[in-house]
């Protein structure tokens, strides 16, 4: 059978290596820019200092206020600074939250972005922005939002503490898994997804075994880039929607929530997407994909129960209701009872059957 598809390659420049942080000034100059606003967060102040030093006179201001879920008041404050110093480029160092701030500024002003990711969230290679105003998170997509240049520095990424690296890597794994059963799936993205799964699984196993070296971090960062590219290219399904609900309505932490939910969302979809699951299982080197992902999380020391992340048992039914409010494409039919069962298993931390 021939399956039709449409595939657009996103026009971003990727610089990958160890010590690449030092190339940020060249990347800014390459874009024809000369007045940089450096974006960071309090946890990454040291990395912000290193980038500011490397940029020298190209850096004209610094903003360390990036926060989770890209709150609009924070973007307002950064935008005011950007205007006051007449910046023509932002350089963002940090996880998805700092990347979100850079994207929000680009969405408003069209300013060029150089992003230096320190987690595996993958936002740096997607044209999507999620922002929060008055407690409501909205998402939009536009070519202006996609960062022009991404500088992946394996050495810098090695500073990410192991427990955060584990959950962030499973967050990336989720992009690759859902890409394989996306309605927009195509052979190019399938190939990236499978390579991402192999690399992320290798990195997670090595972290679990205590082999935390640059080779491990390189596998994880390459896997994150490839998985993020999948996220930016094809639509996601049940797993991402559920995590969006749990993060947005119950304030659960982004990457740990992905880590707990992924094996259960896969189990829910397994019978309806047998070919995709077989490919995931093969890439992981296991017989069954959902339980294989669960075992990988356990081996790496990641969280397995939503109850441990702060979700009250009484919230399960409410979350299931929100999750089925708006229909979206998914391999298995979405039923309120089915989702409630999934969430009960995830809440208790059961291994998928
Ligand atoms: P994050 O950016 O909030 O980082 C998690 C925590 O780790 C933060 O406290 C951060 O300061 C800290 N941290 C990051 N790097 C560190 C390092 N090297 N050393 C020490 N601490 C470090 O979280 P995240 O999981 O990277 O991103 C989540 C956010 O990104 C969410 O708001 C999510 O919605 C968004 N996101 C958006 C997209 C998209 O395509 N639009 C994709 C993925 C994630």
Mean pLDDT computed over 330-346: 97
Domain 13-157 and domain 162-348 have a common topology: no
Which residue's CA is minimally distant from atom 35 of ligand 1?
96
Residue 65 Cα, ligand 1 centroid: separation in angstroms?
13
For 59, the enclosing helix (H) or strand (E) is strand 59-63
Model confidence at 262: pLDDT above 60:
yes
% of the chain at pLDDT higher than 70: 99
Residue 278 structure tokens: 């077989």
DSSP state of 137: E
Rounded CA separation 88/74 (Å) = 19
Q: Is CATH 3.30.365.10 the classification given to domain 13-157?
A: no
Phi/psi of residue 7, nearest 5 degrees: -130, 125
Task: Encode pLDDT of 205-250 as tens digits.
Answer: 999 999 999 999 999 999 999 999 999 999 999 999 999 999 888 9
As for the ipTM of the complex, it is 0.97
- Which of 242, 254, 255, 259 is the best mutation target for the ligand 1 pocket, counting ligand atoms within 8 Å of the beta carbon and taking the most? 254
DSSP state of 213: S
Check: CB of residue 187 under 8 Å from CB of residue 273: no
pLDDT in the model for residue 353: 78
% of the chain at pLDDT higher than 90: 92
Residue ranges per structural domain of the chain: 13-157, 162-348
- The two beta strands, 89-94 and 112-117, are parallel
Residue 53 Cα, ligand 1 centroid: separation in angstroms?
23
Which residue's CA is minimally distant from atom 27 of ligand 1?
96
DSSP state of 98: H
Mean pLDDT computed over 168-177: 98
Residue 69 Cα, ligand 1 centroid: separation in angstroms?
9
CATH of 162-348, picked from 1.10.3210.50, 1.20.1090.10, 3.40.50.2300, 1.10.10.10, is 1.20.1090.10
pLDDT in the model for residue 68: 87
Rounded CA separation 126/72 (Å) = 20
String of DSSP letters for 242-311: HHHHHHHHH---HHHHHHHHHHHHHHHHHTT-HHHHHHHHHHHTSS-HHHHHHHHHHHHT----GGGGT-
For the CA of 167, the nearest atom of ligand 1: 25
Question: Other CB atoms closer than 10 Å to residue 197's CB: what's the count?
Answer: 28
Task: Encode pLDDT of 89-100 as tens digits.
Answer: 999 999 999 999
- Which of 67, 68, 93 is the best mutation target for the ligand 1 pocket, counting ligand atoms within 8 Å of the beta carbon and taking the most? 68
Task: Indicate the burial class of 178 (C-beta count within 10 angstroms; 0-12, 13-18, 19 or more).
Answer: buried
Give the ranges where the chain is alpha helix by DSSP (H): 24-30, 45-55, 72-84, 96-109, 154-157, 162-180, 187-208, 214-233, 238-250, 254-270, 274-284, 289-300, 315-323, 336-348
- Which of 67, 94, 151, 157 is the best mutation target for the ligand 1 pocket, counting ligand atoms within 8 Å of the beta carbon and taking the most? 94
Q: How confident is the model at residue 72 (pLDDT cuts 50, 70, 90)?
A: very high
Could you tell me the end-to-end alpha-carbon distance of the chain, in angstroms, rounded to an integer? 32
- Which of 39, 96, 220 is the best mutation target for the ligand 1 pocket, counting ligand atoms within 8 Å of the beta carbon and taking the most? 96
Ligand 1 site, CB within 6 A: 41, 43-44, 68-69, 94-98, 100, 118-119, 121-123, 126, 128-130, 159-161, 164, 168, 231, 254-255
Residue 30 Cα, ligand 1 centroid: separation in angstroms?
27
Which residue's CA is minimally distant from atom 42 of ligand 1?
123
Q: Give the residue, 163 or 251, on which the prediction is more confident.
A: 163
Q: How confident is the model at residue 348 (pLDDT cuts 50, 70, 90)?
A: very high
Rounded CA separation 212/125 (Å) = 25
Task: Indicate the burial class of 136 (C-beta count within 10 angstroms; 0-12, 13-18, 19 or more).
Answer: exposed
């Amino acid at each position: 059978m021939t399956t039709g598809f449409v595939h657009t390659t996103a026009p971003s420049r990727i610089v990958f290596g160890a010590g690449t942080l030092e190339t940020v000034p060249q990347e800014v100059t390459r874009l024809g820019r000369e007045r940089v606003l450096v974006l960071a967060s309090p946890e990454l102040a040291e990395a912000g200092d290193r980038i500011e030093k490397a940029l020298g006179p190209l850096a004209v201001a610094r903003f360390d206020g990036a926060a989770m879920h890209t709150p609009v008041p924070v973007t307002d404050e950064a935008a005011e600074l950007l205007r006051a110093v007449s910046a023509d480029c932002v350089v963002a160092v940090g996880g998805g939250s700092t990347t979100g701030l850079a994207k929000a500024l680009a969405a408003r002003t069209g300013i060029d972005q150089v992003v230096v990711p320190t987690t595996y969230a993958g936002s740096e290679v997607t044209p999507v922005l999620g922002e929060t105003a008055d407690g409501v998170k909205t998402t939009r997509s536009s070519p202006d939002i996609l960062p022009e240049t991404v500088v992946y520095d394996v050495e810098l990424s090695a500073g990410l503490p192991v427990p955060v690296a584990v959950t962030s890597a499973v967050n990336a794994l989720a992009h690759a898994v859902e890409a394989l059963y996306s309605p927009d799936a195509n052979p190019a993205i399938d190939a990236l997804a499978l390579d991402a799964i192999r690399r992320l699984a290798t990195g997670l196993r090595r972290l679990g075994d205590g082999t935390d070296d640059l080779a491990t971090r390189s596998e994880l960062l390459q896997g994150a880039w490839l998985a993020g590219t999948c996220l930016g290219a094809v639509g996601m399904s049940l797993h991402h929607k559920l995590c969006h609900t749990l993060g947005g309505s119950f304030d659960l932490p982004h990457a740990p929530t992905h880590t707990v939910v992924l094996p259960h969302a896969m189990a829910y979809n397994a019978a309806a997407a047998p070919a995709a699951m077989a490919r995931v299982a093969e890439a992981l080197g296991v017989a069954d994909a959902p339980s294989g992902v669960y075992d990988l999380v356990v081996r790496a020391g990641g969280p397995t129960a939503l109850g441990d992340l702060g979700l009250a048992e009484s919230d399960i039914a409410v979350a299931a209701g929100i999750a089925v409010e708006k229909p979206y494409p998914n391999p298995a039919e979405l039923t309120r009872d089915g989702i409630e069962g999934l969430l009960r298993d995830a809440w208790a931390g059961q291994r998928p059957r």
